Chains A and B, each alone.
Chain A
Amino acid sequence: DIQMTQSPSSVSASVGDRVTITCRASQGISIWLAWYQQKPGRAPKLLIYAATSLQSGVPSRFSGSGSGTDFTLTISGLQPEDLATYYCQQANSFPLTFGGGTKVEIK
């Protein structure tokens, strides 16, 4: 199985800050990676797919980068509504696996 390791597990930042979350795969997954946002009590929402592509309707302050084993989600200009937990997911092979999540808090 491919293990997905996210860091940090939590981050606290101020409105307007740049926030970076990393995800590392235990083996190469090319660009078969997605990022999801999960707000408290809600289902996850797709933000980024194929490592760098922004899902329709998602604000442009969200961006993704990386390929192979190392990936990054960046929030450029944190907003209060970005309070959530963010998960990476590999779609390279079964079983599909998720990272442990990064909780983003607003200072």
Chain B
Amino acid sequence: VHLLESGGGLVQPGGSLRLSCASSEFSLSDHYMDWVRQAPGKGLEWVGRTRNKANSYTTEYAASVKGRFIISRDDSENSLYLQMNSLKTEDTAIYYCAKVWGSYYDYWGQGTLVTVSS
């Protein structure tokens, strides 16, 4: 397993959750990394990007999550995080972390399910 997500679960609307993505195969600091989500039975939606250490870990976000979600990293843990705040029912999805290769995704995690419901 190249990428492994964790941290998903059931959370109430308005709540927070932090997802993690770790790798035992890659030094994540060398790579751009994205989060992509998939609502149940639906298509893929890009959530956000963190660039690599050489590019100061700058970030980009989808409009639907900007101001609510934050992507961060911990190099000592070789991990990537997605802090999700002010969660809405429409944030219910499987969340994947994906390694960016050029402009595309060559490795994906297995995904972690986030359910926002009262």
Contacts and interface: CB of A to CB of B under 8 A. Distances in A.
Are A and B subunits of one complex?
Answer: yes
Contacts of A95: 46, 60, 62-63
Interface string B73-115: 0000000000000000000000010000111111011110000
A38 B110 CA distance: 12
A91 B104 contact: yes
Contacts of B44: 36, 38, 44, 87, 89, 98, 101
Interface of A: 32, 34, 36, 38, 43-46, 49-50, 55, 87, 89, 91, 94-101
Nearest to B5: A43
B103 A91 contact: yes
A101 B104 contact: no
Interface of B: 34, 43-46, 49, 60, 62-63, 96, 101-106, 108-111
B43 A101 contact: yes
A99 B43 contact: yes
A8 to B, nearest CB: 14
